[in-house]
Amino acid sequence: RMDQALLLIRNELPAPGLNLAARSGSCHQCLYQFLAFVPPSNESLRKPGTASVMVDTQHPLTLLLNSSEGDRDLCKIQYHFGEFGNYSLVVKTLNTQTVSCDLIVNEGPINSYLPILFAFLVYMAVLAILIAGRLLMKIDPVRNWVYKKLNPRATDRMINSELGSPSTTDSVNCDPTPQSWSTGSRPRLRSLDTFRGLSLVIMVFVNYGGGKYWFFKHESWNGLTVADLVFPWFVFIMGTSIALALGSMLRWGSSKWKVLRKILWRSFVLILLGIIVVNPNYCLGPLSWDNLRIPGVLQRLGFTYLVVAALELLFTRADSGTWEGQFPALQDILPYWPQWIFILVLETIWLCLTFLLPVPDCPRGYLGPGGIGDFGKYPNCTGGAAGYIDRLLLGEKHMYQHPSSGVTYQSTMPYDPEGILGTINSIVMAFLGLQAGKITLFYKDQPKQIMSRFIIWGIVMGIISAILTKCSKEEGFIPINKNLWSISYVTTMSCFAFILLLLIYYLVDVKKWWSGAPFLYPGMNSILVYIGHQVFANYFPFKWKMQDSQSHAEHLTQNLTATTLWVIISYILYRRRVFWKI
């Protein structure tokens, strides 16, 4: 099968036989898992005992061979097997005291990463063609010839328009980008839509399967993969949008009560869409409350938006950006000190609940995955306080039933990565995004100030992450963990977000070297693309029956095709000025 190799064990030792166990390199402090019993050799027939097993190729494995009687360890081997490879492990005696374990490659593995390289080259070729076409269209004879071939009757009108002939359409803004974000004179920041679109496109790709590569799936527990980056970035840029949108609505004369009603309505709709539309699998039957999952991505977004937007509305002013005080360098922070106190109180609540809440049959402050992790001492403690609160308040049937820890750590308890306790830190994440929005407001028309403050915030968040994690995946005070939405996860993702937003802002809005395409288009229709890709995930042309379901290449082709289709759909909607706003 995909991500597996064949291992043949050849035992030339006499009775009593061998036990083969394995432990994945991605499984921290895990128990060895039994793989196979290898019978002893038959000395009369001079025939070795043999057994064959399938071993995982996604991460390095530690193989442990011991005697089936007395449990004496004979040898331990660390090896990273290759996909579809064929291997032999030969166990024999060199002398009366020494046992030899030799790993032999019978048939070499395939390179399962070649499809990624090929897909990259295809997309680069398409990009090169588009860039070349755009450059050619700047040449007048080529542009006029193309216009003539596409629409001969309108050739003269198009040429005259390019030459600047006055017409009634000249004064109309043909850019379909809506201009409702900020002040009447300020253009929309395309970098924000580009950032949001980049996060969304990666999210769609990994949700569709990511070619079944392990690094496009969520990390089993502590640590990061590509899939763990996108949701917090989406939360971050939502916070940035809140700062710009609320200030704009107040400057246009909307009352705070009217804005609050809009915030409440949008939050309600997001939560309702998540529970009724996205979470249920209607292919399995009608909606049933008995096992309906309550938390979810849209629910987390809706509640986070409600808290952060209401917090900002409470303290924002229509003339925000004109504050002057003793510390002008902190004008985006000091006027909002009550907000910071509120966020610090929230974070204190998270820390107290996480590390001080008693959880039955679990150590206080437990942050592990349960199952076979921590040497199997706490099998039913998945997520510690976070999992306990969800099971207590929501009930096990209303939580996510297949957490990412289930495969590697073999945990059996339901655990929801979008649970109640983690929502506190998603609010913190959105608030840090709100800070980025305030920076763009207070330092408008000062790109150097904006970029320098993005760098400072990125460095500060990175330093906090380094302290919390001790620059280690497993050994820090608070490890980076997407399932828990740990505070170190939030600071790390905020560090990445500030730096990434800085780069996109510089390329798109400052230098204008990049239009933001193609990520700009899904970024401007994010809710439609997200809900659409969930609802139509199992329908053609986003999914079809594969000839070989054990091929990374076929999965990658299907997932990239589906993701590209959503980018094309968002582009068509962009050109037709169709934007679904809640």
Residue 184 pLDDT grade (very low, low, confident, very high; cuts 50, 70, 90): very low
* Catalytic position from the list 28, 59, 80, 218: 218
| pLDDT 10s digits, 511-554 | 999 999 899 999 999 999 999 999 899 899 999 999 988 999 99
Residue 325 or residue 49, greater confidence: 49
* Mean pLDDT on 68-72: 73
**What pLDDT score was predicted for residue 186?**
56
Q: Residue 379 forms beta bridges with which residues?
A: none
Residue 12 or residue 415, greater confidence: 415
- 177-181, 294-298, 308-312, 480-484: least confident range: 177-181
CA 97 to chain centre: 52
What are the residue ranges of CATH 2.60.40.180 in the chain? 4-107
Residue 100 in this model has a pLDDT that exceeds 90: no
**What pLDDT score was predicted for residue 255?**
87
Output DSSP code: residue 481: B
Q: Which amino acid is at 458?
A: G
**What pLDDT score was predicted for residue 162?**
37
Place of tokens 């090896």: 79
* Mean pLDDT on 190-199: 94
Residue 1 pLDDT grade (very low, low, confident, very high; cuts 50, 70, 90): confident
Alpha-carbon distance of 561 to 553, in angstroms, equals 12
Residue 179 in this model has a pLDDT that exceeds 50: no
**What pLDDT score was predicted for residue 156?**
43
* Mean pLDDT on 131-135: 87
Alpha-carbon distance of 543 to 561, in angstroms, equals 9
Residue 155 in this model has a pLDDT that exceeds 60: no
**What pLDDT score was predicted for residue 138?**
83
* Mean pLDDT on 71-79: 85
CATH class for domain 4-107?
Answer: mainly beta
In what side-by-side order are the strands of the sheet with 86-93? 49-56, 4-11, 86-93, 99-107
Whether 120 contacts 96, CB under 8 Å: no
| Residue 11: exposure state from Cβ atoms within 10 A (0-12, 13-18, ≥19) | buried
* Mean pLDDT on 74-88: 92
Mapping DSSP onto H, E and C, the string for 42-56 reads ECCCCECEEEEEEEE
Residue 424 in this model has a pLDDT that exceeds 90: yes
Residue 445 pLDDT grade (very low, low, confident, very high; cuts 50, 70, 90): confident
**What pLDDT score was predicted for residue 443?**
87
**Beta pairing, strands 61-67 & 18-24:** antiparallel
Rounded to 5 degrees, φ, ψ at 403 are -65, 160
User: Mean pLDDT, the chain, as a whole number?
Assistant: 87
Whether 210 contacts 219, CB under 8 Å: no
| pLDDT 10s digits, 279-325 | 776 666 677 788 889 999 999 999 999 999 999 998 876 555 455 55
Residue 188 in this model has a pLDDT that exceeds 80: no
DSSP result, 206-232: HHTTGGG-GGGS--SSBS--GGGTHHH
Strand segments (E) across 82-233: 86-93, 99-107
* Mean pLDDT on 139-153: 75
**What pLDDT score was predicted for residue 161?**
39
Closest CA to 430 of 343, 352, 510, 318: 343
Residue 208: CB partners within 8 Å, gap ≥ 6? Answer: 533, 537, 542, 543, 558, 559, 562, 563
Share of the chain above pLDDT 90, in %: 65
Alpha-helical runs (H) found in 316-446: 337-356, 385-393, 405-408, 420-442
| pLDDT 10s digits, 366-394 | 999 999 999 999 999 999 999 999 999 99
Q: Is the dihedral of CA 387, 391, 393, 394 positive or negative?
A: positive
Residue 170 pLDDT grade (very low, low, confident, very high; cuts 50, 70, 90): very low
**Beta pairing, strands 49-56 & 4-11:** antiparallel
Determine whether 218 is an active site residue.
Answer: yes
**What pLDDT score was predicted for residue 52?**
93
Q: Which two tokens stand for residue 85?
A: 């490879």
Distinct helix (H) and strand (E) counts, the chain:
16, 8
Residue 239 pLDDT grade (very low, low, confident, very high; cuts 50, 70, 90): very high
**What pLDDT score was predicted for residue 180?**
36
* Mean pLDDT on 246-274: 90
Whether the ω angle into residue 479 lies within 30 degrees of 0, i.e. cis, is no
Residue 68 pLDDT grade (very low, low, confident, very high; cuts 50, 70, 90): confident
Alpha-carbon distance of 446 to 440, in angstroms, equals 9
